[in-house]
Chains A and B, each alone.
Chain A
Amino acid sequence: EPEVTQTPSHQVTQMGQEVILRCVPISNHLYFYWYRQILGQKVEFLVSFYNNEISEKSEIFDDQFSVERPDGSNFTLKIRSTKLEDSAMYFCASRDGPGPLHFGNGTRLTVT
């Protein structure tokens, strides 16, 4: 069964550094998402992306965040200057049409 893949599984970075989290959505999907989950808390929406542009973003998704689909397969989340509170699991998800989201296994980001 096709799946969403994310790399790396764990990323450790120092405060103020830039990080790029990578995702390969399911190949025929058109809608792409990033969510985050702070340890033990609920899954929170960050941003949705369709037709090469952001469809919607949450209050969390401020100017430090950006997303890109650099080619036909990858979907990336960049955090320009990481803060301690950015430490969380980041999940990429994709879907085709009005169906369910398919999530990757996440990238654990630790900011020290």
Chain B
Amino acid sequence: GENVEQHPSTLSVQEGDSAVIKCTYSDSASNYFPWYKQELGKGPQLIIDIRSNVGEKKDQRIAVTLNKTAKHFSLHITETQPEDSAVYFCAASLATSGTYKYIFGTGTRLKVLA
């Protein structure tokens, strides 16, 4: 089945610096890759997503890149702020009988130091 690896598990950056989180997936059939932010005591919240027909997508300070050949995708956060501190999860969507089961990575705890 699908497997999603995520690195690093923890990441500390100074406020204003950039943060990059990387994921790899195993199933070449996956075609949808969302990123979720999870704050303490809350459920995962979608922050950005990308489909396999696109190589890059940007939304203000957040961007995601996808390399289908290498089966890699990455989250880039620029000009980090303390409120960006959270756990970030990548996911790969495997279309199975039309239900699109999501497989999540292991998460990255991002700390933005003021």
Q: Mark B84-114, 1 if CB is under 8 A from A, else 0.
A: 0000010000011111111111110000000
CB <8 Å contact, A91 and B99: no
- Quick check: is B61 within 8 A (CB to CB) of the other chain? no
- Quick check: is A65 within 8 A (CB to CB) of the other chain? no
Stretch touching chain A among B12-20, B44-52, B72-80? B44-52
Task: Give the distance in Å from the alpha carbon of A110 to the alpha carbon of B14 in the complex.
Answer: 36
Task: Give the distance in Å from the alpha carbon of A107 to the alpha carbon of B43 in the complex.
Answer: 10
Stretch touching chain B among A12-20, A68-76, A78-86, A96-104? A96-104
B21 to chain A, nearest CB (A): 14
Contact partners of B107 in chain A: CB under 8 A: 41-43
Task: Give the distance in Å from the alpha carbon of A3 to the alpha carbon of B17 in the complex.
Answer: 32
Chain B interface SS verdict (over half): loop
CB <8 Å contact, B46 and A105: no
Query: Number of A residues whose C-beta is below 8 Å from B?
Result: 23
Q: A42-B107, A105-B43 are in contact. Are A48 and B99 (CB under 8 A)?
A: yes
CB <8 Å contact, B32 and A101: no
Q: A56-B97, A56-B99, A106-B43 are in contact. Are A101 and B104 (CB under 8 A)?
A: no
Chain A interface SS verdict (over half): strand
Partner of A31, one of B42, B45, B100: B100
Chain B's closest residue to A104 (CB) is: B43
CB <8 Å contact, A50 and B99: yes
CB <8 Å contact, B104 and A48: no
Query: Can you list 12 pairs linking A and B with CB atoms under 8 Å apart?
Result: A43-B44, A43-B89, A44-B104, A50-B99, A56-B97, A91-B44, A98-B95, A101-B46, A103-B44, A104-B43, A105-B42, A105-B43
Q: Mark B20-41, 1 if CB is under 8 A from A, else 0.
A: 0000000000001010100001
Task: Give the distance in Å from the alpha carbon of A43 to the alpha carbon of B98 in the complex.
Answer: 21
Q: A55-B97, A56-B96, A98-B32 are in contact. Are A45 and B102 (CB under 8 A)?
A: yes
Pick the most buried of B43, B99, B107: most chain A CB atoms within 10 A of its CB: B43
CB <8 Å contact, B46 and A100: yes
